[in-house]
Amino acid sequence: MHTAATDLLGIDVPIFAFSHCRDVVVEVSKAGGFGCLGAGYYTKDQLKEELTWIDDHIEGKPYGIDVLMPNKHAPLGTVKIDPTSLPREQSDFLKRLLDNAGVPELPKSEYEAMIRKEIEKVNMTRSESESLFDTALEHPIKMVVNALGVPSKEQVERMQSRDIRVGALVGKPEHAIKQKEAGVDIIIAQGSEAGGHTGTISSMVLWPQIIDAVAPLPVLAAGGIGRGRQMAAAMAMGCAGIWCGSIWLGTKQSDLLPEEKECLFEGRSEDAIQSRSRTGKPARVLRSKLTEAWEQPTAPPFLPMPLQTLVTMEARLRINRGKAKEYMSPPVGQIVSSINDEGSVKQLIFDMLMEFTDCVERLNSSIEAK
Ligand SMILES: Cc1cc2nc3c(=O)[nH]c(=O)nc-3n(C[C@H](O)[C@H](O)[C@H](O)COP(=O)(O)O)c2cc1C
């Protein structure tokens, strides 16, 4: 296939994958698409290890990283080095909830080390993100995507001078225009159906607005795409390709727990709700007893990012260790209804392209002269 996005990155098909899982990144790039590793929750050393593994397995195909750099950020103070200084109201609330549900506590002997290990992975301040960039620059990455803020012109130029493309994920036309002004190479227009942090404008309405707002910059369509029909719709609207996150979560290559995958296989579109319970910002996650508890009038207030992530960490570890499925709330979009079994990434891309081709043929035949 040939679009502005395939030309920009030297790939065969305009299918981009966001994933926290290195195996998904590698499989998508090897299949001719472009894998982008979500690097928001790694320490520098872990990121180095993941990128080295990718370099060893990706057979020279291009790949990128996605970093989280919010414009607004709660001051962290010393909480990163002292887990005991985290606010207690929210973690006590979750402790009571899980105690009452009979979810086993974390083993006392390992408790502090486990929490500390998780806290070290939250690297979202500007200086922390920049330090992750430095690590990533030691690897042959071809694109850096930022989701939560506008990069400085210097950052953009630094990447571009090394032949690295810069992408920005946005949910509003105004944000897309700011990113264009900062000099980014490609915009990812993410509709509210998407998994993870989302805005409020749905894909069908957002994509053409953003295409018009930033033309001639290439725009990738994100939010609610998991099949060839949706890919064809996005490209018919003028998108240069697609950017998917949720659809890879159920695959063999995804490192979600088997119980989390089961929750996804059972999930319906209406179960993928927006909740602030995970990070403090509205994010689409699977409804569970945990998200329902946060909606009760007696629940404590949500904290700003990244404190909410930090105070809910212990509960998430506990839920995962205890395999407490009813409390699992993995981030996922409304496309969850199309995640039904544990197929391979390669098969998924093949099926998507076959369905895409059928759609294009159907459209073409609909305007054939009689
Ligand atoms: C589990 C999960 C985690 C995500 N985390 C991030 C993230 O850290 N950074 C980011 O830019 N986007 C993140 N996203 C959003 C994706 O980049 C992508 O825009 C979105 O998944 C597209 O919509 P879809 O979920 O309908 O495919 C995440 C999505 C999911 C499903």
Q: pLDDT at position 69, please?
A: 61
Q: pLDDT at position 83, please?
A: 65
If asked whether residues 89 and 149 sit together in one domain, one would say no
Q: pLDDT at position 59, please?
A: 98
If asked whether residues 161 and 49 sit together in one domain, one would say yes
Of all atoms in ligand 1, which is nearest to the CA of residue 41?
8
Residue whose Cα lies nearest atom 15 of ligand 1: it is: 196
If asked whether residues 215 and 138 sit together in one domain, one would say yes
Residue 231 located in a structural domain: yes
Query: How many A from CA of 362 to the centre of ligand 1?
Result: 31
Digit-by-digit pLDDT tens for the chain (370 residues) are 999 999 999 999 999 999 999 999 999 999 999 999 998 788 889 999 999 999 999 999 999 999 866 554 445 444 454 667 788 999 999 999 999 999 999 998 888 888 888 887 776 666 777 778 888 999 999 999 988 788 888 889 989 999 999 999 999 999 999 999 999 999 999 999 999 999 999 999 999 999 999 999 999 999 999 999 999 999 999 999 999 999 999 999 999 999 999 999 999 999 999 999 999 999 999 999 999 999 999 999 999 888 898 899 999 999 999 999 999 999 999 999 999 999 999 999 999 999 999 999 999 999 876 6
Q: Give the span between the Cα atoms of 11 and 240, in whole angstroms.
A: 12
If asked whether residues 147 and 225 sit together in one domain, one would say yes
Residue whose Cα lies nearest atom 6 of ligand 1: it is: 196
Place of tokens 């059928």: 358
Lining ligand 1 with CB less than 6 A are 18, 38, 40, 66, 68, 147, 169, 190, 193-196, 222-225, 243-247, 331-333, 335
If asked whether residues 168 and 293 sit together in one domain, one would say no
Number of domains in the chain: 2
Q: Give the span between the Cα atoms of 148 and 130, in whole angstroms.
A: 14
Joined tokens for residue 138: 């030691």
pTM of this structure: 0.94
Residue whose Cα lies nearest atom 5 of ligand 1: it is: 196
If asked whether residues 21 and 158 sit together in one domain, one would say yes
CA 94 to chain centre: 25
Q: Give the span between the Cα atoms of 220 and 194, in whole angstroms.
A: 13
Quick check: helix, strand or coil at residue 236? helix
Place of tokens 């709330």: 329
CB 345 within 8 A of CB 27: yes
Pocket test for ligand 1, best of 16, 18, 244 (most atoms within 8 A of CB): 18
Of all atoms in ligand 1, which is nearest to the CA of residue 245?
21
If asked whether residues 149 and 228 sit together in one domain, one would say yes
Q: Following DSSP, what letter does each residue of 242-270 receive, concatenated?
A: EEESGGGTTSTT--S-HHHHHHHHH--GG
Amino acid, single-letter form, for residue 26: V
Q: Give the span between the Cα atoms of 101 and 85, in whole angstroms.
A: 26
Q: Which domain holds residue 263?
A: 83-121+254-327
Q: pLDDT at position 125, please?
A: 65
If asked whether residues 239 and 269 sit together in one domain, one would say no
CB 166 within 8 A of CB 67: no
Amino acid, single-letter form, for residue 1: M
Beta-carbon count within 10 A of 160 CB: 14
Q: Angle of helix 345-366 relative to helix 228-236, nearest 10 degrees?
A: 50
Joined tokens for residue 333: 């979009």
Residue 101 located in a structural domain: yes
Q: Give the span between the Cα atoms of 123 and 111, in whole angstroms.
A: 21
Residue 227 located in a structural domain: yes
Query: How many A from CA of 330 to the centre of ligand 1?
Result: 11
Q: Following DSSP, what letter does each residue of 142-159 receive, concatenated?
A: -EEEESSSPPPHHHHHHH
Residue whose Cα lies nearest atom 11 of ligand 1: it is: 147
Query: How many A from CA of 169 to the centre of ligand 1?
Result: 10
If asked whether residues 189 and 260 sit together in one domain, one would say no
Residue whose Cα lies nearest atom 21 of ligand 1: it is: 245
Q: pLDDT at position 78, please?
A: 43
Residue 334 located in a structural domain: no
Tell me the CATH number at 240: 3.20.20.70
Residue 335 located in a structural domain: no
Query: How many A from CA of 195 to the centre of ligand 1?
Result: 5
Q: pLDDT at position 73, please?
A: 46
